[in-house]
Structure 1
Amino acid sequence: MNIQTPLPDAAAPASADALPLRILLTGYRSHPHVGGQGVYLRELARALRDLGHQVTVASGPPYPELDAGIALVKLPSLDLFETENAFKAFRPGFLTRWADFCEWASHNTGGFGEPYAFGERLARYLATHHGDFDVIHDNQTLASAFARINRRIPVVATIHHPVAIDRDFALASAEKRVDRWLTRRWYGFTGMQARTAASLSGLLAVSAAARDSHARIYGLDRSRISVAFNGIDHDVFRPDPSTQREAGLIAATASADVPIKGVDVLMEAFCDLAGKRPDLRLELIGRLREGKAKARLDASGLSDRVICRSGVTREEIADLYRRATLVACPARFEGFGFPAAEAMACGAPVVASDGGALPEVVGDAGLVVPAGDSGAFASAMARVLDGPDLARRLGETGTARARQEFDWRRHAEAAVKLYRRALAKC
Structure 2
Amino acid sequence: MRIGIDCQALQTAHSAQRGIGIYTRSLLSSLLTRGEDDYHLFFNARLESPHAGQPAALCHPVDYVEKTGSWEPDEANEYLQRLAYESCGLDLLHVASVQEGPEAVIDSSAGRRSFPIVCTLFDLIPLLYPGVYLADPAKNARYLRRLELYRRAEIVLTISDNSRNDALRLLGLSEDRVVNVGAAIDPSFRPLDLAAGSTLIQAVKQALGIQSPFVLCTGGFDFRKNLNGMLESFSRLPDGLKHEFQLVIVGALPAEGILALHDLAQRYGIADRLVLTKRIPRDSLVALYNACEVFVFPSLYEGFGLPVLEAMSCGAPVVASNTPATAETLGDAGIQVDPADSRAIAQAMQSVMESQTLREELKAKALSRSQMYSWEATAQATKEVFHLARDRWKRSGHLVRGRKPKIAFFSPLPPRKSGISHYSAQLLPHLSKHFDIDVYVDGYLPSQPPVDGSLRFFPTSPELSRERYFSRLFQLGNSAFHAYMYEYLLRHGGITALHEVSLHGLVHATLVDERQSEQRYAEEIVYEHGEEGRAALEMHQQGEVDGATMMALFPLNERALSASKAVIVHSEFARRQLLKGRSEQIVPRVKRINQGVTVLPLPAPSQTQTVRARLGIPGGAFVVGVFGMMTESKQLEVGLRAFQRLRQHDGRAWYLSVGEFAFAGYEASILRLCEQLGIGDRVVFAGYAGSQDFSDYVFTCDVALSLRYPNMGETSAAMLQALACGIPTIVNDLAAFAELPSDAVVKVQIGQDQEDDIADALRLLAEDQALCRRLGTAARRYILEHHSWETVAAQYADYICYVESTGLGDQTDLRAVLGRVVDKARTLKGRETRVLDRTIDAFAGSAGLGRVLWI
| Counterpart pick for 1:138 among 95, 107, 117 | 95
- Identify the residue that residue 22 of structure 1 maps to in structure 2: 3
**Residue 144 (structure 1) shift:** 6.3
Q: Which amino acid aligns with 1:272?
A: R
Paired residues for 1:9-158 under 5 Å: 20-28=1-9, 29-30=11-12, 34-52=17-35, 53-60=37-44, 61=47, 63-64=49-50, 67-69=53-55, 71-74=58-61, 91=68, 95=71, 98-99=73-74, 121=77, 123-132=79-88, 133-141=90-98, 145-148=107-110, 151-158=113-120
**Residue 192 (structure 1) shift:** 1.9
- Identify the residue that residue 416 of structure 1 maps to in structure 2: 383
Are residues 1:228 and 2:190 paired? no
My pick for the range that moved more, 293-302 or 205-214, is 293-302
Paired residues for 1:186-335 under 5 Å: 186-234=139-187, 236-242=188-194, 243=197, 248-254=213-219, 256-273=220-237, 275-277=239-241, 278-286=243-251, 287=253, 289-290=256-257, 293-335=261-303
Inter-partner Cα distance in structure 2 for 1:150 and 1:22: 18
Inter-partner Cα distance in structure 2 for 1:299 and 1:78: 50
Deviation per CA, 1:244-296, whole angstroms, max 9, x where unpaired? Answer: 69963111111x21111111211111122274420211111112744875542
**Residue 201 (structure 1) shift:** 1.0
Inter-partner Cα distance in structure 2 for 1:248 and 1:77: 51
Whether contact under 8 Å (2:81, 2:107) holds in the other structure is: no
Inter-partner Cα distance in structure 2 for 1:76 and 1:271: 52
Normalising by structure 1, we get a TM-score of 0.76
Paired residues for 1:384-403 under 5 Å: 384-403=352-371
- Identify the residue that residue 123 of structure 2 maps to in structure 1: 161
Whether contact under 8 Å (2:297, 2:319) holds in the other structure is: yes
My pick for the range that moved more, 51-60 or 142-151, is 142-151
| Counterpart pick for 1:170 among 115, 118, 132 | 132
**Residue 165 (structure 1) shift:** 4.5
Inter-partner Cα distance in structure 2 for 1:169 and 1:321: 34
**Residue 209 (structure 1) shift:** 0.4
The DSSP-based 3-state class of the residue aligned with 2:216 is strand
C-alpha RMSD of the superposition: 3.0
Whether contact under 8 Å (1:135, 1:154) holds in the other structure is: yes
Q: Which amino acid aligns with 1:216?
A: R
Inter-partner Cα distance in structure 2 for 1:64 and 1:150: 30
**Residue 396 (structure 1) shift:** 1.4
* Seq. identity, %: 21
Q: Which amino acid aligns with 2:177?
A: R
Normalising by structure 2, we get a TM-score of 0.40
Change (3 A) 1:68 1:74: closer
Change (3 A) 1:422 1:149: farther
Inter-partner Cα distance in structure 1 for 2:232 and 2:171: 33
Inter-partner Cα distance in structure 2 for 1:62 and 1:311: 20
Inter-partner Cα distance in structure 1 for 2:292 and 2:330: 17
Inter-partner Cα distance in structure 2 for 1:183 and 1:274: 43
Inter-partner Cα distance in structure 2 for 1:302 and 1:396: 31
Inter-partner Cα distance in structure 1 for 2:137 and 2:336: 32
Inter-partner Cα distance in structure 1 for 2:64 and 2:342: 40
Whether contact under 8 Å (1:264, 1:292) holds in the other structure is: no
Whether contact under 8 Å (2:290, 2:315) holds in the other structure is: yes
Change (3 A) 1:393 1:121: farther
Whether contact under 8 Å (2:64, 2:80) holds in the other structure is: no
**Residue 35 (structure 1) shift:** 1.7
Inter-partner Cα distance in structure 2 for 1:355 and 1:78: 42
**Residue 163 (structure 1) shift:** 3.4
Q: Which amino acid aligns with 1:159?
A: L
My pick for the range that moved more, 31-40 or 157-166, is 31-40
Change (3 A) 1:327 1:75: farther
**Residue 409 (structure 1) shift:** 1.5
Inter-partner Cα distance in structure 2 for 1:150 and 1:383: 58
Whether contact under 8 Å (1:149, 1:155) holds in the other structure is: no
My pick for the range that moved more, 301-310 or 290-299, is 290-299
Whether contact under 8 Å (2:235, 2:269) holds in the other structure is: no
Inter-partner Cα distance in structure 2 for 1:350 and 1:67: 36
Deviation per CA, 1:223-263, whole angstroms, max 9, x where unpaired? Answer: 421012112122x1111241469963111111x21111111
**Residue 66 (structure 1) shift:** 5.7
Paired residues for 1:371-382 under 5 Å: 371-382=339-350
Inter-partner Cα distance in structure 2 for 1:64 and 1:268: 39
**Residue 298 (structure 1) shift:** 2.5
Change (3 A) 1:388 1:72: farther
Inter-partner Cα distance in structure 2 for 1:331 and 1:301: 23
Inter-partner Cα distance in structure 1 for 2:308 and 2:49: 25
**Residue 169 (structure 1) shift:** 6.8
Q: Which one has more relative contact order, counting CA pairs under 8 Å at least 6 apart?
A: 1
Deviation per CA, 1:55-96, whole angstroms, max 9, x where unpaired? Answer: 3333454554565437444457899xxxxxxxxxx735x63x
The DSSP-based 3-state class of the residue aligned with 1:57 is strand
Deviation per CA, 1:355-401, whole angstroms, max 9, x where unpaired? Answer: 23111111111100113221111111111111111111111111121
The DSSP-based 3-state class of the residue aligned with 2:320 is strand
Whether contact under 8 Å (2:212, 2:246) holds in the other structure is: no
Whether contact under 8 Å (1:212, 1:222) holds in the other structure is: no
Q: Which amino acid aligns with 2:319?
A: V
Change (3 A) 1:320 1:197: same
Give the unaligned 5+ runs of structure 2: 100-104, 202-210, 395-855
Change (3 A) 1:249 1:295: same
The DSSP-based 3-state class of the residue aligned with 1:273 is coil
Deviation per CA, 1:161-207, whole angstroms, max 9, x where unpaired? Answer: 10324634727xxxxxxxxx845654443322332211111111100
Q: Which amino acid aligns with 2:68?
A: R
